[in-house]
Amino acid sequence: MSQTTFLVTLGGFMQLAVLTSSFISTHLQMNPEQLATLVDQAAMDARPIPQLSLSHSFSEADGYAIQAASMAHRYARGEKLIGLKMGFTSEAKMKQMGVHDMIWGRLTSSMLRENGSVLALNTFIHPRAEPEICFLIQKDIERELSLEEAPEYVEAVAAAIEIIDSRYQNFKFSLEDVIADNCSSAALFVGAWQDKHTPLGDLKISLMIDGEVVQTDSSAAILGDPWRSLQAATRLAHQYGQPIPAGSYIMAGAATPAVFLSAGQEVKAVVEALGEVTFTVEG
């Protein structure tokens, strides 16, 4: 090959390379609204997608913007905001998922299931259950509350189970990814409401499957006391401009790792002093 031919060939190749990479980057660089559509569609189709952070670099604040945009799709379909959930408020959860900070997401009317009901698996990708504590809000919250004033805004507390179902392949994500995916929120079951004065700082929380305890810990694993999780929820909601109206549910986050579900299981969470909540996986 003469030197000229070589240079022409090299030039052509480089031009092609530039064209290809600009095609790939315009194709991959989606805006928050387009990324929100991806996670929303994955949830609707129950089909996992690659982690967004593999093709896009974005911040936690961007993750919350994507989450808000994906929720707008749900509201447009008629789902109502019923509350908020805290995530990664225990060491056990952070360790299981390989992340380092707490997060918050939104709960909608379509996620709330009746205690004791049957959960069909076909609308989920790879659902997991985790035992939780839920707060029922009594008065509108529009600012960060102190730990001391929080009880005044709460009506009752209950044992709960959260179903999480990451829209990402293999349930693998970065903190930004999981925030964008509304913190894996998929469904929740709430037990009978109990006196809000019940001390929550050191209650035994267990998840049982078919009568056997599969996870157990103390509620102290949740930031030392689940009330701290509620306090953090008021801080984060205020920071991101999300009001918490009276009647909202606030999930404090799991004290234990989450457990994959399979057909036919009887799942129950038992929280000392608060009672139990249960569902059956369709078999």
Binding residues vs ligand OOG (CB under 6 A): 85, 87-88, 93, 97, 130, 162, 164, 166, 178, 183-184, 253-254
Query: Which residue, chain included where needed, has tokens 């909540």?
Result: 277
Contact present, 54 and 35 (Cβ < 8 Å): no
Contact present, 140 and 196 (Cβ < 8 Å): no
- The residue (of 130 and 268) whose beta carbon lies closer to ligand OOG is 130
The DSSP 8-state label assigned to residue 172 in this structure reads -
The DSSP 8-state label assigned to residue 49 in this structure reads B
Helix-helix angle 60-76:32-45, to 10 degrees: 60
By CB under 5 A, tell whether 107 contacts Mg ion.
no
By CB under 5 A, tell whether 277 contacts Mg ion.
no
Binding mask 183-202 for Mg ion (x = CB under 5 A): --------------------
Binding mask 31-70 for Mg ion (x = CB under 5 A): ----------------------------------------
- The residue (of 183 and 281) whose beta carbon lies closer to ligand OOG is 183
By CB under 5 A, tell whether 181 contacts Mg ion.
no
By CB under 5 A, tell whether 254 contacts Mg ion.
yes
What does 93 bind: ligand OOG, Mg ion, none (CB cut-off 5 to 8 Å by kind)? ligand OOG
- The residue (of 162 and 176) whose beta carbon lies closer to Mg ion is 162
Structure tokens at 249: 């549910």
Q: Provide the pairing of β-strand 118-119 with 275-281.
A: parallel
Of 68, 108, 83, 85, whose CA–CA distance to 246 is shortest?
83
Q: How far is the CB of 254 from ligand OOG (least distance, A)?
A: 4
Among 162, 165, 181, 217, binds Mg ion (CB under 5 A): 162
Q: How far is the CB of 16 from ligand OOG (least distance, A)?
A: 41
- HSE-CB for 104 with a 13 A CA cutoff: 23
DSSP 27-96: HH---HHHHHHHHHHHHHHT--B--GGGT----HHHHHHHHHHHHHHHHHTT--EEEEEEES-SHHHHHH
- Residue 173 has phi, psi (to 5 degrees) of -160, 165
- The residue (of 32 and 86) whose beta carbon lies closer to Mg ion is 86
Number of residues that bind Mg ion (CB under 5 A): 2
Report the interface residues with Mg ion, using CB under 5 A. Answer: 162, 254
